């Protein structure tokens, strides 16, 4: 009995387990859980909005040429069980799940991306960082950047307003809520970057940040995130 208990503790401490079903797994998720995820396969090339027409690779908004974003790589739909993992990572400060989510993104996306010169995590307001203890986007960018050998910059973009959290607002409210929310410092001498975030909902936040960054002369801005709301 004691032997079994010790074995169990050692097993839990030193062997990686799937965070969804708890079976031993050396990958981010076990193959069964990985295959059960809801993938965002048919989506807009620029903003990753899930599309109903598989014949087009752009949504109506992006077809009008209004998006400052060139390419979005957001492999999953924000639905069970990935919403649960993101929630535990973000709101219960389970930082190990940040690594799991970063590895999931890499497993699905690393062969389809054009590497940018720099990753920029979507900044949080200092008040929110104080409350949460970390910026989830920076955690994800660090995991992905380390693996792909792309530097991560979290010094040049600052969030100025600790305004109403975006959750619960509709698309129009989000757009006006986020306008002017970022300050970009001089000195970003790059032409291609990727913004990193955990979830993209309406796209208002990444669009506003990309719009501000484009004014500094950056030519191409991509978005790398884990999940997109349908």
Q: How far is the CB of 22 from Zn ion (least distance, A)?
A: 7
Q: How far is the CB of 17 from Zn ion (least distance, A)?
A: 8
> Which residues, 6 or more positions from 114, have their beta carbon under 8 angstroms from its beta carbon?
71, 192, 222
Q: Which residues pair with 17 in a beta bridge?
A: 24
Alpha-carbon distance of 191 to 125, in angstroms, equals: 26
Q: Is 144 in the site for Zn ion (CB under 5 A)?
A: no
Among 10, 21, 115, 160, contact with Zn ion (rule: CB under 5 A)? 21
- Binding to Zn ion (CB under 5 A): which residues in 46-85? 46-47, 49, 59, 62
Q: Is 207 in the site for Zn ion (CB under 5 A)?
A: no
The residue whose two tokens read 């087009």 is 56
Q: How far is the CB of 19 from Zn ion (least distance, A)?
A: 8
Q: How far is the CB of 48 from Zn ion (least distance, A)?
A: 7
DSSP assignment of 157-210, as one string? Answer: EEE----S-STT--HHHHHHHHTT-EEE-S----SEEEEEEEEESSSHHHHHHH
- Site residues, Zn ion (CB under 5 A): 18, 20-21, 30, 33, 44, 46-47, 49, 59, 62
């Amino acid at each position: 009995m004691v032997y079994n208990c010790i074995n169990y503790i050692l097993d839990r401490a030193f062997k990686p387990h799937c965070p969804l079903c708890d079976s031993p797994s050396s990958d981010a998720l076990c193959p069964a859980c990985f295959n059960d995820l809801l993938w965002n396969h048919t989506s807009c090339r620029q903003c990753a909005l899930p599309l109903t027409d598989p014949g087009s690779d752009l949504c109506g908004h992006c077809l009008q040429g209004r998006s400052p974003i060139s390419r979005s790589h957001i492999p999953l739909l924000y639905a069970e069980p990935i919403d649960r993992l993101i929630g535990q990572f973000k709101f219960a400060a389970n930082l190990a799940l940040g690594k799991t989510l970063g590895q999931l993104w890499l497993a699905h996306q690393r062969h389809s991306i054009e590497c940018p010169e720099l990753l920029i995590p979507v900044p949080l307001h200092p008040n929110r960082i104080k409350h949460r203890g970390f910026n989830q986007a920076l955690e994800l960018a660090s995991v992905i950047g380390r693996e792909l050998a792309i530097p991560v910059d979290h010094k040049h973009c600052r969030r100025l307003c600790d305004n109403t959290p975006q959750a619960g607002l509709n698309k129009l409210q989000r757009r006006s809520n986020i306008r002017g929310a970022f300050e970009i410092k001089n000195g970003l001498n790059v032409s291609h970057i990727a913004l990193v975030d955990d979830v993209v909902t309406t796209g208002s936040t990444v669009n506003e940040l990309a719009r501000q960054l484009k004014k500094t002369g950056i030519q191409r801005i991509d978005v790398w995130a884990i999940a997109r709301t349908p």
